[in-house]
Structure 1
Amino acid sequence: MKYYAVILTMLDEEKNKQYRPDHLAFLEQKANEGKLFAKGPFTDGAGGLVIYKGESLAEIEEIVSQDPYVIRGARGYKIHEWNMEVIGE
C-alpha cells in the first residue's frame, strides 16, 4: 500500500461552502473503504490536504476525480506520492 498526498487548492469559496457537505460525505465513504489516511483544511483558507492509501497513482487520480469539490470546480488538486516516515523509528 502506498500513500498519496492530495493538495486541494481553493478555486471558488462560494462553491466550497455549497459543496462542503458532499465533500465530507465523500471522504467518509473513502474512509469506510479503507482508502483515507488523514484529512484536514489549511488554516489560512488556501484549501486542504487529503492523504489517501492506494496501489497506484492512477487509482488515486480516479478517486480524486470523483470528489464533489473537484467535479463542481470548488477546488483544484495536485497529487504527490508520499513516503511516510515515523519519527523515532
Structure 2
Amino acid sequence: MAYYAAILHMADAEKNLTFRPHQLAYLEELEQQGKIFAKGPFADGSGGMVIYMADSLEEAGELAEQDPYVKEGVRLLELHEWKMARV
C-alpha cells in the first residue's frame, strides 16, 4: 500500500458548490473503505488535495478520476506518489 497525492486545481469555481455534496459523499465512501489518508481544501481557494492509499498509481488514478469534481470538470487532476516523511 502506498500514498498518492491528488492535487485538485480549481477549474470552474461556479460549479464547485453544485458538485461539492457529490464529492464529499464520494470521499466518505472511500474513507469507509480505507482508501483515504487525508483530504481538504487549500486555504487560498485554489483547489484542494486528497491523499489516497492504493496498491498502485493506476489504482489511485482510477479512484481520483471517479471523483465528481474531476468527472464534471470542476477541478483539474494532478496525481503523484507521495512519500510521507517520518520525523
Shorter chain as denominator, the TM-score bin is over 0.9
Q: 5+ unaligned residues in a row in structure 2: which ranges?
A: none
Q: d(CA) in 2 for partners of 1:21 and 1:86?
A: 33
Structure 2 counterpart of 1:19: 19
Superposed CA RMSD in Å reads 0.6
Deviations 1:3-61 (A, max 9, x none): 00110000001111100000000000010010000001000000001100000000011
Letter of the aligned partner of 1:61 in structure 2? G
Q: 5+ unaligned residues in a row in structure 1: which ranges?
A: none
Letter of the aligned partner of 2:79 in structure 1? I
**How far 1:65 sits from its partner (Å)?**
1.1
Q: d(CA) in 1 for partners of 2:73 and 2:79?
A: 17
Q: Given the two structures, how large is their TM-score scaled by the length of structure 1?
A: 0.95
Letter of the aligned partner of 2:41 in structure 1? P
Identity value in percent: 54
Letter of the aligned partner of 1:57 in structure 2? L
SS at match of 1:43: coil
Structure 1 counterpart of 2:81: 81
Moved over 3 A (4+): none
Deviations 1:45-82 (A, max 9, x none): 00001100000000011111111001111000100101
